[in-house]
Amino acid sequence: MRGAHGGRIGYLVLGSPRTGTNLLCHALHATGQAGEPAEWYGTSSLHENLAAQELAHPDSRPEAPRATDWAAYQRALLGRTGSGNRFGVKVFLYHLEPLLKSGQMASPVDLLPDGYRDDVRIITVSRRDVVAQAVSMIIASRTGIFVDVPGVAPRRVPTTTTWWREGPPAALVTNPEELTADLFDSAEVHQLITAIRRHHSTWSDWLADTRFPTLSVTYEDLVDRRESVLSSTFELLGIHTRAAEFTDPGPRRQATALNDELAARYRLWLADRPGAATTTGRQL
Ligand SMILES: Nc1ncnc2c1ncn2[C@@H]1O[C@H](COP(=O)(O)O)[C@@H](OP(=O)(O)O)[C@H]1O
Ligand SMILES: O=S(=O)(O)O[C@H]1[C@@H](O[C@H]2O[C@H](CO)[C@@H](O)[C@H](O)[C@H]2O)O[C@H](CO)[C@@H](O)[C@@H]1O
């Protein structure tokens, strides 16, 4: 449908890490009609990307990126990744908060290029099993391997922002194959769960004040009912690809027996602390 906005759609994938966002965003990119909804404001690379484009403000720092001209950054992204009439970005709360707190942006919509803010659609991605999510994150923060695409050599990305606790991130392990459960702390899994809940309650609060067409996706449905979730997602964005005919497998599952072991250890840890609750007041 081509409306008053020339059919241009801007969309935000609002999630938290380890909810299957790479699986979903890989599929959207692979349709060839949805641009490339990546972490364009990801704190591990935004400052460097701005600097490379001579758009970093003199005060810009890796932990607090600042652009001289966000519109120029967004125009460059659009030129590289736009599909013509759709532009998407994957956003985690810790990408956006420094930009909001420093007054550089006023809302998630400001992450979209000019011309893509009039018809905005939202996809939220969460994971019902938040313990599995937190365990997945704590492991990825030590391996640096956030995605496993068959045939693509894994890239190791150091975590620069420990959005779930104070202090510097733990170093990447030399050999990801040699990780053992003893290297992890259940108290940190608990901090991650608290931070994940805050991510999602912040997105919900923001969405409650908006009227954007919104689709809520869970990791579990994305994995178990992939065709149905992709079909709803394509429909939301007006993409003319039939989910049933969409065969690109995208990334594969990364969890191993270590994930189960850490989740079991965390549940035992929690059982010893009956008062432990997340900041949303909910006990697990
Ligand atoms: N094809 C697939 N099937 C099942 N899970 C997948 C998958 N591709 C990626 N994932 C999982 O999605 C999670 C990563 O989410 P994100 O892309 O948002 O960071 C990881 O969870 P686990 O580490 O629990 O397996 C990863 O393994
Ligand atoms: O562009 S970034 O490097 O900022 O983000 C890429 C990265 O994202 C993962 O690593 C981040 C660094 O710790 C982490 O904050 C984030 O939660 C992770 O998703 O790797 C991803 C997989 O290669 C990539 O999609 C993302 O663009």
Could you report the per-residue pLDDT of 57-66, keeping only the tens digit for each? 999 998 899 9
Rounded to the nearest whole angstrom, what is the distance from the C-alpha of residue 253 to the centroid of ligand 1? 5
Atom of ligand 2 nearest to the CA of 38: 27
Whether residue 280 is predicted with pLDDT greater than 60 in this model: the reply is no
Atom 6 of ligand 2, residue of closest alpha carbon: 39
pTM of the model: 0.94
Counting ligands in written order, the one closest to the CA of 89 is 2
Provide the pLDDT for residue 72.
Answer: 98
Taking only the tens place, the pLDDT of each residue in 67-94 is: 999 999 999 999 988 777 999 999 999 9
Query: ipTM score here?
Result: 0.94
Provide the pLDDT for residue 278.
Answer: 57
Mean pLDDT computed over 101-116: 97
Whether residue 232 is predicted with pLDDT greater than 90 in this model: the reply is yes
Tokens of 192: 């991650």
Provide the pLDDT for residue 277.
Answer: 66
Provide the pLDDT for residue 281.
Answer: 42
Name every protein residue with a CB atom under 6 angstroms from any ligand 1 atom.
17-23, 132, 136, 146, 223, 251-255, 259
Distance (Å, rounded) from C-alpha 242 to C-alpha 122? 20
Atom of ligand 2 nearest to the CA of 90: 27
Taking only the tens place, the pLDDT of each residue in 137-190 is: 999 999 999 999 999 999 999 998 899 999 999 999 999 999 999 999 999 999
Counting ligands in written order, the one closest to the CA of 24 is 1
